């Protein structure tokens, strides 16, 4: 159904319009509007909150600064002294090794963490209080109570002011002590370092003393066991006649089975001698048999060498003379005689030498055989004795092992006792002081710049939090952006809040007033709200009463009428009407209950071209009257006589009237009071209007206060019988004159 403005050539609407249907066709809900959503804290919203609540945030920041100053003035000055300690993890000597090695079971970081824990222990704090005699210091422990109570109080003071900083890397531990007295802070900080080192040395001494006592008991017990085992071994050796030739060792080499007995040693020596005698006998026998089997030996040749040489010379001389002399020559005979004698001498000499050598070798051979036989007989005799000793030395070996074991334990315990005795002395502490505490020259707390910054930060955060909280709590529509972003409505106008007292109608009559100018801009925007210009039928409603919908309906009607349009303003609020006419017996309620002519119930106003169809008598059932088709017929009849019909409807929430009217009128202008209408309520009202099939032209923001983009509030209440309610008297022109 087209209810936009349509003009005849003379500017009037024809009396009869065949193109106007009798009733409005229902329309589907508008799905193009952006749905309502909860406010989001995006950058634009945050900036808007900062602008709107800047004085609250600034006041909170000032209060934070003032709080920082007050806290600084009321806080007791505190002094802090620092001490730096170096931790050197100890090394331990492992038994049986020739050099020191690091104990792998105690890592350096574990040792440092342990020292940090010990430094913060109550034992160190109590020792510090005792060493410094803090129980007698009234400034630390007070003067009341017993010495034990004051010592506990002093210990608590020392422990409470101590703060240890564990090292992230390295072996340096830093700690501080805080006190209201700078001298006391340095004294206690240094006293904690000294007490910590002394406590560590004392723990080492006490632990080594316990170890020494334990080792002494073990050494005495082991010594007794060693003496008993040695005594049993000696008694058994005496009883069995076992004689060992060496003192023995821990390895058990003095066992009779190992050859350390007298019989064993003798048997070994005889075996060696027997082997040597056998070798001599074999050698002598070989020499003897070789001499008997061989001819002249070298000894024979040596003893007869001179005779053979002489014989050779004579034979040579005989051969030489044989060439000249005959064999029977005397010289030749003499030579042969001499050679014969030499042969006889050589034979006799060789015989004598051979006989003497044979006798000598025979004697040596017989002697070697006799010695071998004697040694063999002795060895055979000792073998039986050694075998008998082996049987008797089993018990001896068992007793000897007990002796060796007890002696090894005794030697190890004695060695460990000596080592602990050396390590248990005063020695060197693994903790050393790098930097001692000095008396601080100025307090570290309170720190005015830090307190001011902290107060400012707290104030700003509180202000921001309060601003955001108030913004979320008062989730209202205040600006054009809120209409678009929160409700999804186009803002067709913004009406400022009236700051001067006076009649609203007089402001409308003055075209230069701010209110009149704002409604003129709204009317101009409505001329572009549809494809065919300004809508011919327009319903003005709001979420709740007193948001300015009646004033807006009047102002828009007056504005269009001033531009030459014939406008009918219908007061459709059948519960709390805002307009009245001179004749109280005419009105919309009369028309809804009969078939009278619409023009018979309209009344002229003081505005030219503007007529009023008042509410009339208040009916008991407004919703039932509006739900009939009679209201659509009244609207169609009015459009035959007027170029624009503007309906002032009741609010949406809580009533069924506004959706019923919107279903018939179709074009709706939604009025929102700035700073008062809540987003949820407005969204619910819009949903109800859209559910009726109405076409929402946009939103009109009323009672807005321009102040750097922020809008204030306006105490305009719908239906309130006071000066704030605009009751506009609609009288004819001739009566007004």
Burial class (CB in 10 A: 0-12, 13-18, 19+), 68: buried
Residue 10 inside a domain? The answer is no
Whether residue 423 has pLDDT greater than 60: no
Q: Between 464 and 237, whose confidence is greater?
A: 464
Residues 464, 412, single domain; the answer is no
In angstroms, the CA 579 to CA 570 distance is: 9
Q: Give bridge partners of residue 67 from the DSSP assignment.
A: none
Residue 597 inside a domain? The answer is yes
Q: Between 719 and 612, whose confidence is greater?
A: 612
Residue 122 inside a domain? The answer is no
| Mean pLDDT computed over 328-347 | 79
Q: What is the pLDDT of residue 73?
A: 86
- In 54-94, the DSSP E strands lie at 79-87
CA-to-CA dists, residue 636 to 250, 610, 625, angstroms = 132, 18, 17
pLDDT digits (tens, 9 = 90+) for 143-169: 788 888 888 888 899 988 899 988 888
Residue 336 inside a domain? The answer is yes
Of 205-209, 339-343, 352-356, where does the model show the most confidence?
339-343
pTM comes to 0.48
CB 494 within 8 A of CB 525: no
Q: What is the pLDDT of residue 667?
A: 92
Q: What is the pLDDT of residue 249?
A: 41
* 6: confidence class by pLDDT, cuts 50, 70, 90: very low
Q: What is the pLDDT of residue 361?
A: 67
Reported as type and span, the H/E element at residue 435 is strand 431-435
Expressed as residue numbers, the domain containing 60 is: 54-75+446-470
Q: CA torsion angle for 57, 60, 61, 67 (degrees, to 10)?
A: -170
* 251: confidence class by pLDDT, cuts 50, 70, 90: very low
Residues 262, 339, single domain; the answer is yes
Residue 433 inside a domain? The answer is no
Residues 352, 450, single domain; the answer is no
Whether residue 384 has pLDDT greater than 90: no
Residues 566, 654, single domain; the answer is yes
* 711: confidence class by pLDDT, cuts 50, 70, 90: very low
Whether residue 91 has pLDDT greater than 70: no
408, 438, 470 — which closes off a domain?
470
Residues 451, 416, single domain; the answer is no
The CATH number of residue 657's host domain is 3.40.50.300
Residues 500, 413, single domain; the answer is no
Burial class (CB in 10 A: 0-12, 13-18, 19+), 735: exposed
Residue 196 inside a domain? The answer is no
Whether residue 540 has pLDDT greater than 90: yes
Residues 583, 685, single domain; the answer is yes
Give the chain's mean pLDDT: 77
| Mean pLDDT computed over 349-378 | 70
Q: What is the pLDDT of residue 291?
A: 62
* 726: confidence class by pLDDT, cuts 50, 70, 90: very low
Residue 587 inside a domain? The answer is yes
Residues 645, 690, single domain; the answer is yes
pLDDT digits (tens, 9 = 90+) for 265-320: 676 776 777 677 777 777 766 666 666 665 555 555 566 677 777 878 888 877 87
415, 437, 470 — which closes off a domain?
470
Residue 668 inside a domain? The answer is yes
Gyration radius from the chain CA atoms: 68
Q: What is the pLDDT of residue 484?
A: 87
Residues 453, 559, single domain; the answer is no
Number of domains observed in the structure of the chain: 3
Residues 373, 499, single domain; the answer is no
DSSP calls for 342-378:
HHHHHHHHHHHHHHHHHHHHHHHHHHHHHHHHHHHHH
Residues 575, 680, single domain; the answer is yes
Residues 342, 458, single domain; the answer is no
């Amino acid at each position: 159904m087209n209810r936009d403005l349509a003009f005849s050539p003379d500017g009037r609407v024809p009396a009869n319009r065949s193109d106007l249907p009798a009733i409005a066709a229902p329309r589907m809900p508008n799905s193009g509007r952006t749905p309502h959503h909860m406010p989001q804290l995006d950058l634009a919203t945050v900036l808007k909150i900062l602008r709107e609540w800047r004085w609250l945030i600034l006041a909170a920041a000032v209060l934070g600064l003032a709080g920082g100053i007050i806290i600084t003035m009321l806080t007791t000055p505190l002094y802090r002294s620092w001490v730096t300690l170096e931790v050197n993890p100890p090394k331990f000597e492992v038994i049986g090794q020739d050099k020191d090695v690091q104990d792998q079971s105690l890592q350096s970081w574990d040792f440092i963490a342990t020292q940090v824990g010990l430094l913060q222990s109550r034992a160190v704090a109590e020792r510090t209080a005792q060493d410094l005699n803090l129980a007698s210091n009234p400034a630390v422990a007070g003067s009341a109570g017993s010495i034990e109570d004051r010592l506990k109080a002093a210990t608590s003071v020392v422990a409470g002011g101590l703060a240890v900083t564990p090292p992230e890397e390295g072996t340096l531990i830093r700690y501080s002590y805080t006190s209201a007295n700078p001298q006391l802070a340095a004294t206690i900080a240094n006293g904690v370092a000294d007490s910590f080192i002394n406590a560590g040395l004392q723990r080492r001494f006490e632990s080594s003393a316990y170890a020494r006592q334990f080792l002494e008991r073990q050494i005495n017990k082991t010594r007794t066991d060693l003496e008993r085992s040695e005594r049993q071994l000696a008694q058994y050796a005496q009883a069995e006649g076992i004689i060992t030739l060496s003192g023995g060792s821990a390895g058990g080499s003095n066992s009779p089975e190992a050859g350390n007995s007298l019989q064993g040693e003798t048997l070994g020596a005889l075996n060696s001698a027997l082997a040597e005698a056998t070798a001599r006998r074999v050698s002598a026998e070989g020499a003897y048999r070789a001499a008997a089997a061989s001819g002249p030996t070298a000894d024979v040749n040596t003893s007869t060498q001179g005779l053979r040489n002489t014989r050779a010379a004579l034979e040579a001389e005989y051969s030489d003379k044989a060439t000249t002399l005959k064999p029977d020559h005397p010289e030749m005979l003499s030579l042969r005689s001499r050679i014969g004698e030499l042969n006889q001498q050589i034979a006799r000499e060789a015989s004598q030498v051979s006989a003497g050598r044979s006798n000598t070798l025979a004697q040596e051979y017989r002697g070697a055989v006799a010695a071998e036989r004697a040694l063999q007989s002795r060895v055979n005799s000792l073998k039986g004795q050694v075998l008998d000793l082996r049987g008797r030395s089993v018990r001896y070996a068992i007793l000897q092992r007990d002796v060796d074991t007890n002696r090894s334990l005794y030697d190890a315990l004695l060695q460990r006792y000596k080592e602990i005795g050396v390590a248990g002395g005063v020695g060197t502490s693994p903790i050393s002081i790098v930097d001692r505490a000095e008396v601080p020259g100025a307090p570290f707390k309170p720190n005015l710049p830090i307190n001011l910054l902290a107060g400012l930060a707290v104030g700003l955060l509180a202000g921001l939090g309060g601003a955001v909280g108030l913004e979320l709590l008062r989730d209202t529509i205040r600006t054009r952006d809120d209409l678009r972003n929160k409700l999804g409505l186009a803002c067709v106008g913004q009406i400022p809040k009236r700051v001067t007292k006076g009649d609203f109608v007089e402001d409308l009559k003055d075209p230069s007033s701010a209110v009149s100018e704002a409604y003129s801009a709204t009317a101009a925007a409505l001329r572009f709200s549809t494809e065919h210009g300004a809508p011919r039928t327009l319903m003005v409603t709001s979420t709740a009463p007193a948001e300015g919908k009646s004033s807006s309906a009047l102002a828009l009607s007056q504005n269009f009428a001033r531009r030459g349009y014939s406008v009918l303003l219908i007061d459709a609020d059948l519960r709390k009407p805002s307009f009245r006419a001179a004749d109280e017996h005419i009105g919309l309620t009369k028309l809804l209950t009969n078939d009278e002519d619409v023009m018979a119930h309209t009344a002229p106003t003081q505005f030219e071209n503007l007529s009023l169809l008042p509410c009339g008598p208040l009916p008991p059932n407004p919703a039932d009257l509006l739900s009939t088709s009679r209201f659509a017929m009244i609207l169609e009849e009015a459009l035959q006589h007027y170029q624009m019909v503007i309906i002032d409807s009741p609010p949406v929430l809580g009533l069924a009237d506004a959706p019923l009217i919107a279903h018939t009128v179709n074009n709706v202008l939604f009025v929102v009071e700035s700073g008062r209408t809540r987003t949820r309520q407005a969204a619910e009202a819009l949903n109800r209007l859209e559910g009726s099939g109405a076409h929402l032209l946009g939103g009109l923001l009323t009672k807005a206060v321009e102040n750097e983009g922020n809008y204030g509030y306006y105490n305009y209440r719908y239906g309130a019988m006071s000066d704030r309610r605009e009751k506009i008297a609609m009288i004819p022109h001739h009566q007004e004159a």
